[in-house]
Structure 1
Amino acid sequence: MDFSTMIGHDTIKNQIVNSIKGNRFSHALIVTGENGIGKSLIAKEIAIRLLGKAEEKQYVDIVEFKMSKDKKSIGIDEIKSIIQETTKKPYEGDRKVIILYKADGMTEAAQNAFLKTIEEPPRGIFIILLCEKLENILDTIKSRCQVYKLNRLSEEEMLKFLNNKFESLSEDELKAVSAFSDGIPGRAERFLEDKSLMEIRDTVIDILKGICEGKLDKTLLYTEFLLKYRGEWQEVLTYFLSYIRDTLIYKETGNKELIINIDKINEIKDIAEMFSFNKLNGIINIIKDTRSKLERNVNATLVFDSMLVKIQEV
């Protein structure tokens, strides 16, 4: 996928193309944005253009470093390997591009060890750091890099992306996927291709229906399910908020055209009849509090149990 077919980020793409053509491209840059926003696509296209290639494929002078699945951070040893790679001459031409994924996972010591290389890499070496949380990158690193921040796609851009990639989607499906993706193409792809997300979505509406029935013991049985998907807690909470949002809108307007989860309209009608506006707004606050606790790495079992009890009692 080259820049001409990539949807969104037009200003950044133009800046990159012009700086490469004018030989003004920075030797080190950071591409930051949420998971699924297109960071790796941007980085690979930059690399191909820097090498002067026209075809999208693997090149020996594009070197990618990814954090091991069994590790939670990038340490000095990994950075030493990258630094050693920068000292090796390019194989095919006079340029080499090094891409480091999840650069915000570097420890402070690793970043300090990398600083000199980022500031003055060998001639012809370009370093691209990809990260979600720019605030985790030291100011000393950021000040030596060109930073490109990728923002979420607009609703129009998302619909264009979905129509191009998933031509068979109905209008209702397009509406639902676009809303759930929240401007992030990778999230839309996961929603359509990952069966676990479908299970989460269906179960969350079951939880809300169970809460409507007022059976706490039944509701607490869902803690095990939530723990099963603790790694997807952001998606879980997004589905909760999406259903509550739809319920509030339907309860206030009765207009089905405004509902995102139109395929769940019967369940949403039931929840709207059972829950008052105060209770729905209370659930939103509970979900926000749950998100805050999970972001602080509070014990997931306690957090989910507390969430379910509070939603039941609100």
Structure 2
Amino acid sequence: MSFNNIIGHEKINNRILRAIRLDKFPNSHIIVGEDGIGKSIIAREMAAAILGKNEIRQCTDILEYKLSKNKKSIGIDEIKSIIEETNKKPYEGNKKVVIVYNSESMTEAAQNAFLKTIEEPSNGVYIILLCEKLDNILDTIRSRCEVHKLNRLKDDEMDKFLDYKFPSLSYEDKKAVISFSDGIPGRAEKFIEDSSLHDIRNITIELLKKSQEENIQFIFKYEDFLFKHKEEWDEILTCILSYIRDVFIYKETGQKNLLINSDKFNDIKLIGEMFSFNKLNIIINIIKITRKKLKNNVNVKLVFDDMLLKMQEV
């Protein structure tokens, strides 16, 4: 197993493989990164490498635990079930890998119950916890695991990923996907396969063009759309910032070929004529503040309304 199918995260992948080959691989790990960044792919590749498999496939000694659809947290009963499995002997060889998804959703009691197993797993048992943030993982758990932090892919890595995954994608579409995905492969796949994200891309540039209209209808028109897509708030804000980035470039160079969203050239040009550099920077700060509020779980509708009002006042 060489992690050849994984694009990006090269240093982490090499470190994992080296430790496995030298038989110096810790038994407990945390892989942390945003949704769609590649945590599950790396975890499965890691599991295959631990078990000496040449390919990822269904294997009785790779156990995957996911948060139930009707539950918001992983409780102590689920953890007891996992612990029970770790105490059973492997079926095929002498090693077993347990992958726990959404591990940040474990309750504090569940984490405390899991602590001893993570600290001293049964012989040949490897535990891999996947999470988006470390904040909700107890320090006692973190300190007993090797932590692998996955960062967003660079543009050239995203380009390589799209060539591999969607070879028929046009150059213009690829640039738009790279812009929208913001270095997250899963977001790129979702953009290509989910038509609602195309709507977000079209509406957000319209929002920028209409933001200087001095009437309340501007708020009414876009607040409904934004609230409807509240689960994709990060994609919405990323899209707006991407367009502003292109407006900056156009105002400085006048070159269409330098734009990420070159298919929206006429819109970018119009927005560039509407806003000064100073006003664009104000909008960027508005978006940053909006993102911070939404990350802190402030009421979505109130945050979007405030964003629209402030953009209208620029």
The alignment status of 1:30 with 2:41, answered yes or no, reads no
Check conservation: 1:212, 1:271, Cα contact below 8 A: no
Partner of 2:270: 270
Matches within 5 A, 1:234-245: 234-245=234-245
- 1:11-44 deviations in whole A, cap 9, x for unaligned? 2222222222222211111111222221111110
Matches within 5 A, 1:51-90: 51-90=51-90
Check conservation: 1:32, 1:148, Cα contact below 8 A: yes
Q: CA RMSD in A?
A: 1.8
Shift, 1:136, TM fit: 2.6
Partner of 2:95: 95
Question: How far, CA to CA, are the matches of 1:288 and 1:3 in structure 2?
Answer: 36
Partner of 2:249: 249
Partner of 1:208: 208
Question: How far, CA to CA, are the matches of 1:211 and 1:64 in structure 2?
Answer: 47
Partner of 1:134: helix, strand, or coil? coil
Question: How far, CA to CA, are the matches of 1:242 and 1:262 in structure 2?
Answer: 11
Shift, 1:63, TM fit: 0.8
- 1:139-181 deviations in whole A, cap 9, x for unaligned? 2111111222222222222222222222122222222322332
Shift, 1:114, TM fit: 0.9
Partner of 1:46: 46
Partner of 2:112: 112
- 1:190-226 deviations in whole A, cap 9, x for unaligned? 2222212111111111222222443331332211111
Partner of 1:232: 232
Shift, 1:119, TM fit: 0.4
Partner of 2:173: 173
Shift, 1:48, TM fit: 1.4
Check conservation: 1:293, 1:303, Cα contact below 8 A: yes
Partner of 2:135: helix, strand, or coil? helix
Change (3 A) 1:40 1:2: farther
Amino acid paired to 1:152:
R
Partner of 1:140: 140
Partner of 1:31: helix, strand, or coil? strand
Partner of 1:129: helix, strand, or coil? strand
Normalised by the length of structure 1, the TM-score is: 0.94
Question: How far, CA to CA, are the matches of 2:309 and 2:91 in structure 1?
Answer: 61
Check conservation: 1:79, 1:113, Cα contact below 8 A: yes
Q: % of aligned pairs identical?
A: 62
Question: How far, CA to CA, are the matches of 1:243 and 1:216 in structure 2?
Answer: 24
Question: How far, CA to CA, are the matches of 1:295 and 1:23 in structure 2?
Answer: 40
Question: How far, CA to CA, are the matches of 1:270 and 1:216 in structure 2?
Answer: 22
Partner of 1:73: helix, strand, or coil? coil
- 1:22-73 deviations in whole A, cap 9, x for unaligned? 2221111111122222111111011112222223211111111111223332
Question: How far, CA to CA, are the matches of 2:70 and 2:233 in structure 1?
Answer: 20
Partner of 1:221: helix, strand, or coil? helix
Partner of 2:13: 13
The alignment status of 1:162 with 2:162, answered yes or no, reads yes
Amino acid paired to 1:224:
D
Partner of 2:175: helix, strand, or coil? helix
Check conservation: 1:37, 1:185, Cα contact below 8 A: yes
Change (3 A) 1:109 1:19: same
Change (3 A) 1:44 1:156: same
Amino acid paired to 2:147:
V
Partner of 1:292: 292
Partner of 1:281: 281
Structure 1, 114-123 or 25-34: larger mean CA deviation? 25-34
Shift, 1:91, TM fit: 2.0
Identify unmatched segments of 5+ residues in structure 1. Answer: none
Structure 1, 131-140 or 120-129: larger mean CA deviation? 131-140
Shift, 1:2, TM fit: 5.8
Partner of 2:309: 309
Shift, 1:135, TM fit: 3.1
Structure 1, 230-239 or 1-10: larger mean CA deviation? 1-10
Question: How far, CA to CA, are the matches of 1:151 and 1:294 in structure 2?
Answer: 21
Shift, 1:261, TM fit: 0.9
Check conservation: 1:83, 1:117, Cα contact below 8 A: yes
Matches within 5 A, 1:179-218: 179-218=179-218
Check conservation: 2:247, 2:268, Cα contact below 8 A: yes
Normalised by the length of structure 2, the TM-score is: 0.94
Amino acid paired to 1:8:
G
How many residue pairs were aligned?
A: 314
